[in-house]
Amino acid sequence: MAETNKQPEYKKGDKYQIPPEGSLGLLALGYRGLQMWREARDAHLENLMKEKENNKEDK
């Protein structure tokens, strides 16, 4: 029977989409993982604020 929850396997040089809510794998990377997550979170929050501002202007 095939596994439905199989995790993707990443190799050196693969691109990884960093979720704004973070991940345990990023925490395992230590400082650099935390730094990458903070950048992704800040960009996500900035986009949300811009969308909210644009929606407010449309009204």
Sketch the domain layout of the chain as residue ranges.
24-58
Q: What is the pLDDT of residues 26-56, one digit of tens each?
A: 888 899 999 999 999 999 999 999 999 888 8
Q: What is the pLDDT of residue 1?
A: 52
Q: What is the pLDDT of residue 59?
A: 65
Instruction: With beta carbons less than 8 A apart as the criterion, state whether 22 and 37 touch.
Output: yes
Pairwise CA distance, residues 57 & 20, whole Å: 26
Alpha helix (H) residue ranges in 1-59: 24-28, 31-58
> For the whole model, what pTM was predicted?
0.67
What end-to-end distance do the CA atoms of the chain give, in Å? 53
Structure tokens at 6: 């199989």
